[in-house]
Amino acid sequence: MIRAIYLLSFFKNNEPRFVDLSDTFGYISYMKYFRYFRYFGYFGLLRILQIHQIHQTLRILQILQILRDTSDTSDTSG
């Protein structure tokens, strides 16, 4: 599965922090949110949720594109 690593706009010790938001099954473990909450606070947690929502939307669009491409090729071959 694709593991998505996002560069958040939060810095610690002047270094960008990378957060891995996906696990091997492609869904978010909500226990991770509580761990991130400790580091980033309330607004940081909202930012992580927004990024995850964008990521999920892009994955859905990619799946729809794949389905459309496969249906197009099956139509032309038939």
Note the pLDDT of residue 34: 57
**Better-scored residue on pLDDT, 10 or 60:** 60
Q: Residue 25: what pLDDT?
A: 37
Report pLDDT for 61: 75
How does residue 7 score in pLDDT terms, banded at 50, 70 and 90?
Answer: very low
**E strands along the chain, which residues?**
5-12, 15-20
Give the model confidence (pLDDT) of 11-65 as tens digits: 444 444 444 545 433 344 555 555 666 666 666 666 766 776 777 777 777 777 7
| CA angle at 58 for the pair 52 and 8, rounded to the nearest 5° | 35
